[in-house]
Structure 1
Amino acid sequence: MSKLKQMTVFMYVVQLGSITKAAEKLDVSKSVVSQHLKQLESELAVTLLKRTTRKQILTTAGEHFYQQCCTMHELAEQAWQDAQQLQLTPQGLIKITAPHALMDHLVLPALHEVFHAYPDVQLELISHDGRSDLMQEGIDIAIRVGESKTSNLKQKRIGDFRDVLCGSVATINNHQADIAALEVDNIRYVANHWQEKSIHHSFSCKNSRGDKSGSNRNGSPRFELNFKTHHKANTLPTCLSMLEQGFGVGIIPDFIFAKHKHTLAELLPDHQLNKVNVYALHSYQAAVPIGVTMAIKAIAKRLG
């Protein structure tokens, strides 16, 4: 580090023409500048400047060394500018992971909206319902459903959604009597791969203001239903397709259900499941790259 400082001091002495002006530029005393020059020439064992009280002249070695000092300084300045530019304009690789249910219908549209005007941004997207190691896999952002365990990662709640218990219009119509009696044993359940064999759903009335009393949907705002998994799909698109084709009922996020209302219907249109919180995680401890910040804000906006 001292060598770089000495080279910078030498460059300014040559550029400005005197030790006094170099000291003013660097906001140090003349004695400090003189000491740096003396130490530089001593360590190099080369005379760089011939100085008198009125002028200074570069030696041949000094001229060559001065040009290299200028090159070093230009590279350093460019490095600073490039690093700062990354905080002004998004560019480079941004690696993002999100659950299958959120990637295609939420994350992708948000990223396209925010980055389509920035051709220097490169996206690497990973649809994954597990919990990736952000540091080991070089992931910039992880979008996760539900809060993660405490770690050294930065975690921020960016919104929420509700799952909708639904099935094809024909399926719902065929089970009207079962639905009215809340007898669901005859209704086949199509589970996502992350759901267990036994499915438990807790509902609240859409018009309820928080009263948690009661156990049925006639006059009480909350009640519960239990299902047994009959079919299972390892991806959300497959689960969605099975629901549309009448294999049974299952849950899909509300923002996906809204796009399929012509083929799907809610099992209990007057009731709703609990909200599911969505979080954005990253491992940046200091200044967060602007591309990462922009991506998180865009996804949060989409959730909103």
Structure 2
Amino acid sequence: MLSALPLSFVTVVETGSITRASEELNIAKSAVSQNLKRLEEQLDVKLAIRTTRHLSLTPAGERYYQRCKEILALSQQAETEMESFGATPSGPLTITAPHALIAPVVAPALASVTQKFPALQPSVIAEDKRLNLISEGIDVAISVGQLPDSTLQARRIGTLHDILCAAPDLLAKAPKADTPAYWEWVQSLPYIAHTREPAVVKHKLPTQQNSKPVDLSFRSTVKANTIEAIAAFARNGLGIALLPDIGIAQDLKSGSLMPLAGLADPAPTPIYAVHTYDNLPPKSVQETISAVQQALTNALH
């Protein structure tokens, strides 16, 4: 927005007189006249030739007026854009999240948001890799794990815990937990790995016995490229797997998957909502992030 001096100048030019400008600005005529004088002194250039009945711009005044008009137009555009940020969310919204979070978290979150704002048009990119939000045109990214340093805005919205689990039948013949024989038996089980994991997968996990961690090494016998596929293989007894609690919450409740005995509660892994809108995201982004945060809470209860 223009300051008082150039605003007085623009108003005088557009109204055609100091008197009408004073009425428009709701200030005294003497104040308008003084503002014009101070502006010319500040710029060290003559902007207008004023008589009792007429005001005409000098070439410098004409150029200055045009620049001021551009500033006013940009200011108005900025205000309009900010108003739209607070308006009812509508139009396209692109969100990306890991495969494991789509069904239990993103789907119910978007159902809630679109029910509240029917004009919103969400699209989802299921991707375990972190994408470039700017080049991919992504509004919100749900990211699991510590984030690299960047200029993106991030808000922690929850946590997940990785659970070593298997189908009950696979664990039925387990030796007594927390013994050397038990951990040897665990490592002999077939292991279901993600395709990005190596042939030999190693985990250091806390145990219930004095919270002392145990080093486990598995040779992957089955591989899949999504958490859903790994969970499906585990449910069907193909092996043991390390899976996020959010992705298998219903399996744990129903008993189709069981956590391995002898292990303590795993350390939490943070979940973040990331966007590129600095400190003022549009309302559609704010509402989506809040809905995802609520869905994360619901998924574990």
Fold conserved between structures, TM > 0.5: yes
2:275 matched to which residue of 1?
282
In structure 1, stretches of 5+ residues that fail to align are 45-68, 206-216
> Cα distance, 1:283 vs. partner?
1.6
Cα separation, 2, equivalents of 1:108 and 1:191 = 26
Cα separation, 2, equivalents of 1:38 and 1:160 = 67
CA deviation digits over 1:73-130, x for unaligned, max 9? 99x9688446413224322222111111122212222232233210121112111111
Distance 1:165 1:26, change over 3 A: farther
Cα separation, 2, equivalents of 1:123 and 1:142 = 13
Contact kept? 2:205, 2:213, Cα under 8 Å: yes
> Cα distance, 1:302 vs. partner?
3.0
1:148 matched to which residue of 2?
147
Aligned length: 264
AA of the residue aligned to 1:182: W
> Cα distance, 1:248 vs. partner?
0.5
AA of the residue aligned to 2:138: I
Local SS of the residue matching 1:225: strand
Distance 1:177 1:42, change over 3 A: closer
Contact kept? 2:22, 2:28, Cα under 8 Å: no
Match status 1:264 vs 2:265: no
CA deviation digits over 1:163-199, x for unaligned, max 9? 11111111111x4138662113420000123333222
Match status 1:121 vs 2:114: no
1:20 matched to which residue of 2?
22
Match status 1:234 vs 2:225: yes
Local SS of the residue matching 2:265: strand
2:241 matched to which residue of 1?
250
1:47 matched to which residue of 2?
none
Match status 1:39 vs 2:41: no
Distance 1:296 1:269, change over 3 A: farther
Q: CA RMSD in A?
A: 3.7
Match status 1:182 vs 2:183: yes
Contact kept? 2:88, 2:283, Cα under 8 Å: yes
Match status 1:166 vs 2:165: yes
Cα separation, 2, equivalents of 1:281 and 1:78 = 27
Contact kept? 1:190, 1:249, Cα under 8 Å: yes
Cα separation, 2, equivalents of 1:32 and 1:255 = 65
1:53-92 to structure 2, matched below 5 A, reads 80-81=79-80, 83-92=82-91
* Percent of residue pairs identical: 27
Contact kept? 1:9, 1:33, Cα under 8 Å: no
Contact kept? 1:168, 1:246, Cα under 8 Å: yes
Contact kept? 2:86, 2:282, Cα under 8 Å: yes
Contact kept? 2:231, 2:248, Cα under 8 Å: no
1:300 matched to which residue of 2?
293
2:40 matched to which residue of 1?
none
2:32 matched to which residue of 1?
29
Cα separation, 2, equivalents of 1:188 and 1:119 = 47
Local SS of the residue matching 1:241: helix
Distance 1:42 1:177, change over 3 A: closer
Deviating 4+ runs (over 4 angstroms): 5-8, 25-28, 30-37, 40-44, 76-79, 217-221
Cα separation, 1, equivalents of 2:58 and 2:120 = 44
Cα separation, 1, equivalents of 2:217 and 2:245 = 20
> Cα distance, 1:6 vs. partner?
10
Contact kept? 1:178, 1:186, Cα under 8 Å: no
TM-score, normalised to structure 2's length? 0.72
Distance 1:6 1:25, change over 3 A: closer
AA of the residue aligned to 1:303: L
AA of the residue aligned to 1:266: P
Distance 1:251 1:220, change over 3 A: closer
Cα separation, 1, equivalents of 2:9 and 2:20 = 15
> Cα distance, 1:219 vs. partner?
5.0
2:196 matched to which residue of 1?
194
1:65 matched to which residue of 2?
none
Local SS of the residue matching 2:105: helix
TM-score, normalised to structure 1's length? 0.71
